[in-house]
Amino acid sequence: MLIKRKRGWEMPERDATPEALFLDRRNLLKGAAAGGILASAGWFGLGRAEAAGEPDPSASLYPAKANAAYALDRPVTAEKLATGYNNFYEFGTDKDIVDRSQALKIRPWTIKLDGMVEQEQTLGIDDLFKKMPFEERLYRHRCVEAWSMAVPWTGFPLKALVDLAKPTSGAKYMRMETFEDPGMAPGQKQFWYPWPYVEGLTMAEATNELAFMVTGIYGKPLPTQNGAPLRLATPWKYGFKSVKSIVRFSFVADRPKTMWQTLAADEYGFWANVNPDVPHPRWSQATERFLGQSGRRPTLLFNGYAEQVAGLYKGLEGEKLYM
Binding site for ligand MTE (CB under 6 A): 9, 86-90, 143, 178, 197, 226-227, 239-240, 242-245
Nearest-Å Rg of the Cα atoms of the chain is 19
SS3 state at 217: strand
β-pair partners for 66: 136
* Distances in whole angstroms, Cα of residue 271 to Cα of each of 104, 141, 257: 29, 16, 11
Angstrom distance (rounded) from CA 181 to CA 98? 18
- Cβ nearer to ligand MTE, comparing 48 with 141: 141
In the complex with ligand MTE, which residue's Cβ is closer, 92 or 116? 92
Contact by Cβ (8 Å): 293, 81: no
CA distance 11 to 144: 10
Let me know: does 226 contact 244? Beta carbons within 8 Å: yes
- DSSP state at residue 75: P
Cβ-count burial 117-141 (b if 16+ within 10 Å, e if not): beeeeebebeebbeebebbbbbbbb
| Nearest approach, Cβ of residue 90 and ligand MTE (Å) | 6
Residue number, nearest CB to ligand MTE: 239
Which residue, 116 or 219, is less far from ligand MTE as judged by CB?
219
Q: Write down the least CB distance from residue 190 to ligand MTE, Å.
A: 12
Contacts of 33 (CB under 8 A, 6+ apart): 39
Please, which residue, 41 or 243, has the CB nearer to ligand MTE? 243
Q: Where are the alpha helices (DSSP H) in 166-296?
A: 203-206, 259-264
Nearer to ligand MTE, 151 or 161 (CB): 151
Q: In the sheet that 246-252 helps form, which strands lie side by side, from edge to edge?
A: 121-124, 110-115, 246-252, 173-178, 198-202
Contact 171, 253 (CB under 8 A): yes
Nearer to ligand MTE, 49 or 176 (CB): 176
- As measured in angstroms, the least distance from the Cβ of 213 to ligand MTE is 13
Query: How far is CA 160 from each of CA 117, 165, 178, 209, 211, rounded to the nearest angstrom?
Result: 14, 9, 20, 10, 10
Please report how close the Cβ of residue 311 comes to ligand MTE at its closest, in angstroms: 25
* DSSP character string of 82-104: HTTS---GGG-SSS--HHHHTT-
Residue 219 CB, nearest approach to ligand MTE (Å):
16
The nearer residue to ligand MTE, 128 or 246, going by C-beta atoms, is 246
We find the least distance from the C-beta atom of residue 88 to ligand MTE, in angstroms, to be 5
Which residue, 221 or 227, is less far from ligand MTE as judged by CB?
A: 227
